[in-house]
Structure 1
Amino acid sequence: MPIKYIPYTPNTIEGQAVLDNITRTKRVLRYRENNEVYNRLERGMPYYEVETVEQVGKPSDNLVIRGECLSACAYLKEQGIKVDLVYIDPPFASGADYAKKVYIRRNPKLAEKIKAAETEMDIEGIKAFEETMYGDIWQKEDFLNWMYENLQAIKSIMSENASIYMHLDWHIGHYVKILMDEVFGENNFVNEIIWAYRSGGASKKASIARKHDCIYFYCNNPDTFEINTIKERQYLDKKFIGTLVDENGRFYVDTILTDTLMGVIHRVLDDGSIKNYSCRPVLNVSKERLDYSTQKPEGLVDLLLEIASNKDMVVADFFGGSGVTAKVANELGRKFIHCDIGINSIQTVRDRLVAEKANFTVKEVKDGVNLFRNPQQTMDKLSTLITGLQTKVEGVSNFWLGAINDSKLGSVPVYVPELIDSQQKLLDIPTINRIINQEIQNLSITAKKVIVYYIDIDDEKELKKFIKENNATTTDIELRDLKNLLHETVVNDELEFSVSKEKEEYSISIDKFISDRLKQKINEFNDKGNLQAINKGKKFDPINISEEGLELIELISLDCKNSEGEWFSSTEIKIDKLGYVIYDGEKSKDFWNGKITSKEKPLRIKVRNISGDESIVSVE
């Protein structure tokens, strides 16, 4: 349960257009026996314990938070932290699954042979498989309810003169624009910025290619809010009236930046120099690319931050993804807050900021939800952990995760809250009422029993009393704590290593690394690939892992300061997908030799596998 609930901002702006089909954080309790309707007002933002995971560099106000937007905002508000600019690029309700490509690293022994032959590594031939990062699959009303809560939470921690960018596309943007009018006020709307790009935008034959996103820009106080005017240098093919000529003889004019961002923008700085912003999408060939779905170009975010913030202001991104906002904010001398619920996001931005020599603290919201990498993969894993559960059972709607086939009871539908939706985390009377008076009665099968999992429960005694008094069906309702099951989703990998000391240096040799989860994933990939190859009459080249298993390691970090608690990375190495070593954020052309060294005595070792799971082992 949360420690407490922190109130949202006051009521939304009156007199705005509203969407009547969303509940706006109010829960509606309806009884089928009569027309009486009970409303329960929102409790506010759930405030949980927040644990410091790691301190990188010197103490600072910069934060990287693993947790959902609502809980992160509750923490910031409780700490009295205000933000001056928010840029968010949330899920677009696009109906798409976004995957991460997981690359198998080179065997250190093989890398040594390649180095001896003076042969460069290349991406060709590297084995890889994909894992789902998150599913952007929402019912429209559910998405809008969820986004409304997030906007209310974000508004509550924005400073008086703060502003917010909301980055969306055609799927849901027009609806969210109405929500933002309601939350921030139509008069506080600054502009709709169009980000037009030249690549992508594939369309069906009966449509025109979609090649732009919309960025809705609002401020808290239009009377005092000021933007930084950006002059855009436009180069011309020939001379016109008022045309200027630069030192290279090119014709140009300087104009105020428009609300359409595309291509390369040449900003004129105060000293007359030119700064180029590339607003095109990040392609695979780009040096920025981190193999992270939905990654946005640094030039785009750089320009947006320059327009709406100044040095030392706090810039926040509550759906931080690959960490573009945090990186750019740090480069521009702004303070940053990066928040995301997925561990891959936290690791990506953490490594990115280490390479930038940034100072920041990594924190984690301890909401009782022991996530496996991210909500989507956790939900997928839960379906395998519930003994006997079958998904997509005929006669059982999508409200249920599936059903268990019991020899005595028959089919037993199972409800599991959607982990990405904060409204579902608390089991309360409105949810139970829906199950009793709607979902059980809508089943096309006869259910003697249903199982309802919960993360938090409002008042268990009161809930059971409500079930007893209001359950007119013959179906028993069993309540189970999901946290017990979630605990089983996270199991450490196994690590074997040896420590030696030569002169003033400690050397840790990684002798063996075992990851049962990755082995299972690779076996599934090989089985599927082999079957497809047989059907097509082709030969399949499987992923093979050595007995030592070192190809499954992405990062190794040594803590020479703390033997428990908060992690301090005294030294670390990261092996990129080509097999080259990154030492404490510095890239090299060295191949990993299976070791890591330290001048100080290591107390703990942390190993991250190629999918993002981390295991910490004591060295002593």
Structure 2
Amino acid sequence: MPILQWLTRDQDLTAADRVPYRLLEEVAELSVPASGPAAGPAPGTGGDNLLVQGDNLEALRALLPLYAGRVKCIYIDPPYNTGSAFEHYDDSLEHAKWLAMMVPRLQLLREFLSEDGSIWATIDDNEGHYLKVVMDEVFGRRNFMGEVIWRNSDNSNNNVTKFSQDHNTILVYSRQVNWGPNFLNDPTKRKHFKNPDNDPRGPWFDGNPVNNPGLRPSLQYNIVSPQGHTIKHPPNGWRWSRETISEKLETGELRFSKDGTRLIRRTYLADMKGLPPSTLWTDVEVTGHNRAAKYELKKLFPNVAVTSLFTTPKPERLIQRILDLATNPGDLVFDSFLGSGTTAAVAHKMGRRWIGVEMGDHARTHCALRLRKVIEGEQGGISRDVGWQGGGGFRFCTLGATVFDGAGRINPEIRFADLARHLWFTEFRVPMAAPDVGQVGGPFLGAHDGRGLALLYNGILRDRTAGGGNVLTHAVLRLIREGAQAAGWDGPITVYGAANRLSERTLAGAGMSFRQTPYDIRARV
């Protein structure tokens, strides 16, 4: 597969591994406690809505232990590298720097996708073709699902000297090759279904969709009608074998025309699961446009000058279309370039859970305020279309202390549960299920993929002396094994701690292996 080469490619491909792991710190005064019909599970379980202010690369690293493999849909609208000076983003990055910014973020975003998840990236033609090649490499070329053309402008730009760019591209990739979008039931596309003969199976239309989409020589046979006419096969062959066509003639799904020169197929509306989405999205019929999105924001923030708002915000109808295709109610949606907060607002109104990351002050002044208005039941955007009346909540967090200092030592302020989540993810590459593990159940964290994991750290055994509770002894070994058995685990266990006082023979006999903190923790940046 062709790859894209640029000056700093090699170091950019490993940049994600060097990102420090930080904690999330909640800002209570900017959070909204969950209430009403949209209220989700308690904070910390992965089911809550989360708005994070901070550099999105560090935020992605901080969120991985909590949400890896759990996100159904990622939507990103990164800076387009147009050379213009955007107020909220540095959108004048030189090409190689833009790629250096995108690659590690895409690598981390891939880890968030569930097995049936997809990522949608909006871009224009300044970097769109380069982004396609990079995403082929990160997500796999076979996982490229399509390129959507979205008409984002409702009028041409008369000030340009060459072309008026009136569209953006949305690149769609999936985690698995067999992914498919939800089909949509659009009434405007079904007007040709009628029922003039009161067919008990409901509305139908007659057509001739019986040709094979691919070349099938074995299905290239002619059919003789009852009137004696020979009906020649389509160029690629029929869609079905002779036997199947005979069966469909018996059931009435297929029939001959009155003159016996054609085969006709009756298609019933009730048999259709929906229409496959088109790759051409118009601003009027489907999604709205940038100017409409600016109008939506102006209604939300009537006292803010238009020039201080985003230059190219995305309309709520655009995000609604994407979430209709890629998610179902209750699924988790992630936007790491949240901008003005549209993705989170639409996901909330549509009954999806969401995570949004934004680094600028407008995470507080725009995003948090907009989502508070959504919870209060604001009626702009898609609210009326989806019957939105308000409810729910979210947590507002910033990036806090790093787990490890520059020398690789564990930050003494780190709590047991924080280190446990990080350790679990670095060992198993999946998030830990229990948010408060260790605070009640002791040092045994649980088991995954045929192996248990235990952590001796920060006085988990209620010994608050320096280094207390962090040393593996015979007594501690028995406590770990008792905790594992109470949890239903009797297999091998890896124990992390500050020191080990047992022999290798003793450890082997107990089915345990020891790793020293912080030196044996795989990710200590």
Given the two structures, how large is their TM-score scaled by the length of structure 2? Answer: 0.51
Which one-letter code corresponds to 1:49 in the other structure?
L
Q: CA deviation at 1:346?
A: 3.5
- Measured against aligned partners, the alpha-carbon deviations of 1:103-146 in whole angstroms (never above 9, x if no partner) come to xxxxxxxxxxxxxxxxxxxxxxxxxxxxx333311010110111
In the superposition, relative to structure 1, how do residues 229 and 42 fare at CA in structure 2: closer, same or farther (>3 Å)? Answer: closer
What residue ranges of structure 2 are gaps of 5+ in the alignment?
35-41, 197-268, 376-391, 409-525
Distance 1:89 1:42 in 2: 20
Question: How many equivalent residue pairs?
Answer: 291
Does 1 or 2 have the higher relative contact order (CA < 8 Å, sep 6+)?
2
Match of 1:363 in 2: 397
Match of 2:146 in 1: 191
Which one-letter code corresponds to 2:289 in the other structure?
R
Question: Alignment partner of 2:85: what SS?
Answer: strand
User: Is 1:202 matched up with 2:157?
Assistant: yes
Match of 2:19 in 1: 45
Q: CA deviation at 1:286?
A: 2.8
Distance 1:204 1:19 in 2: 33
Native 8 Å contact 1:45 1:73 kept in 2: no
Match of 2:59 in 1: 72
Question: Alignment partner of 1:136: what SS?
Answer: coil
Which one-letter code corresponds to 1:321 in the other structure?
G
| Structure with more of its chain in helix, by fraction | 2
Q: CA deviation at 1:23?
A: 3.2
Native 8 Å contact 1:64 1:363 kept in 2: yes
Match of 2:363 in 1: 345
Native 8 Å contact 1:92 1:171 kept in 2: yes
Q: CA deviation at 1:257?
A: 3.2
Match of 1:280 in 2: 289
Native 8 Å contact 1:95 1:135 kept in 2: no
Match of 1:97 in 2: 85
Native 8 Å contact 2:287 2:317 kept in 1: yes
Q: CA deviation at 1:197?
A: 3.3
| Structure with more of its chain in strand, by fraction | 1
Q: CA RMSD in A?
A: 3.1
Q: CA deviation at 1:326?
A: 0.4
Question: Alignment partner of 1:147: what SS?
Answer: helix
Which one-letter code corresponds to 2:279 in the other structure?
D
Native 8 Å contact 1:191 1:218 kept in 2: yes
The correspondence for 2:322, drawn from 271, 282, 304, is 304
Match of 1:143 in 2: 98
In the superposition, relative to structure 1, how do residues 229 and 137 fare at CA in structure 2: closer, same or farther (>3 Å)? Answer: same
Distance 1:50 1:78 in 2: 12
Which one-letter code corresponds to 1:56 in the other structure?
V
Q: CA deviation at 1:347?
A: 2.9
Question: Alignment partner of 2:6: what SS?
Answer: coil
Match of 1:88 in 2: 76
Distance 2:16 2:173 in 1: 24
Given the two structures, how large is their TM-score scaled by the length of structure 1? Answer: 0.43
Distance 2:116 2:293 in 1: 38
- Measured against aligned partners, the alpha-carbon deviations of 1:471-509 in whole angstroms (never above 9, x if no partner) come to xxxxxxxxxxxxxxxxxxxxxxxxxxxxxxxxxxxxxxx
In the superposition, relative to structure 1, how do residues 160 and 22 fare at CA in structure 2: closer, same or farther (>3 Å)? Answer: farther
Distance 2:12 2:140 in 1: 24
User: Is 1:219 matched up with 2:174?
Assistant: yes
- Measured against aligned partners, the alpha-carbon deviations of 1:4-42 in whole angstroms (never above 9, x if no partner) come to xxxxxxxxxxxx2211114346279xxxxxxxxxxx886
Distance 2:295 2:67 in 1: 39
Distance 1:188 1:342 in 2: 32
Distance 2:330 2:128 in 1: 31
Q: CA deviation at 1:49?
A: 2.7
In the superposition, relative to structure 1, how do residues 347 and 204 fare at CA in structure 2: closer, same or farther (>3 Å)? Answer: closer
In the superposition, relative to structure 1, how do residues 206 and 260 fare at CA in structure 2: closer, same or farther (>3 Å)? Answer: same
Distance 1:161 1:69 in 2: 24
What residue ranges of structure 1 are gaps of 5+ in the alignment?
1-15, 29-39, 99-131, 246-252, 266-276, 369-455, 460-620
In the superposition, relative to structure 1, how do residues 226 and 17 fare at CA in structure 2: closer, same or farther (>3 Å)? Answer: same
Distance 2:158 2:129 in 1: 20
Match of 1:260 in 2: 280
Distance 2:118 2:294 in 1: 33
Distance 1:350 1:71 in 2: 20
Match of 1:559 in 2: none
- Measured against aligned partners, the alpha-carbon deviations of 1:182-240 in whole angstroms (never above 9, x if no partner) come to 000110011101101343552655412110000000000122x231101344489xx9x
In the superposition, relative to structure 1, how do residues 200 and 94 fare at CA in structure 2: closer, same or farther (>3 Å)? Answer: farther
Match of 1:231 in 2: 185
Native 8 Å contact 2:150 2:283 kept in 1: no
Match of 2:3 in 1: 18
The correspondence for 1:317, drawn from 314, 329, 335, is 335
- Measured against aligned partners, the alpha-carbon deviations of 1:79-102 in whole angstroms (never above 9, x if no partner) come to 35532110000100111122xxxx
Question: Alignment partner of 1:305: what SS?
Answer: helix
Native 8 Å contact 2:32 2:393 kept in 1: yes
Question: Alignment partner of 1:72: what SS?
Answer: helix
Match of 2:475 in 1: none
Match of 2:218 in 1: none
Percent identity for Structure 1 against Structure 2: 27
Distance 1:24 1:46 in 2: 20
User: Is 1:63 matched up with 2:50?
Assistant: yes
Distance 2:61 2:17 in 1: 12
Native 8 Å contact 2:281 2:287 kept in 1: no
Which one-letter code corresponds to 1:313 in the other structure?
D
Which one-letter code corresponds to 2:327 in the other structure?
S
In the superposition, relative to structure 1, how do residues 284 and 331 fare at CA in structure 2: closer, same or farther (>3 Å)? Answer: closer
Which one-letter code corresponds to 1:91 in the other structure?
P
Question: Alignment partner of 2:109: what SS?
Answer: helix
Distance 2:293 2:121 in 1: 25
Which one-letter code corresponds to 2:90 in the other structure?
G
Distance 1:328 1:322 in 2: 12
Distance 2:407 2:122 in 1: 35
In the superposition, relative to structure 1, how do residues 22 and 336 fare at CA in structure 2: closer, same or farther (>3 Å)? Answer: farther
Native 8 Å contact 2:16 2:104 kept in 1: no
Native 8 Å contact 1:21 1:141 kept in 2: yes
Q: CA deviation at 1:283?
A: 3.5
Native 8 Å contact 1:234 1:255 kept in 2: no
Distance 2:12 2:315 in 1: 39
Native 8 Å contact 1:64 1:346 kept in 2: no
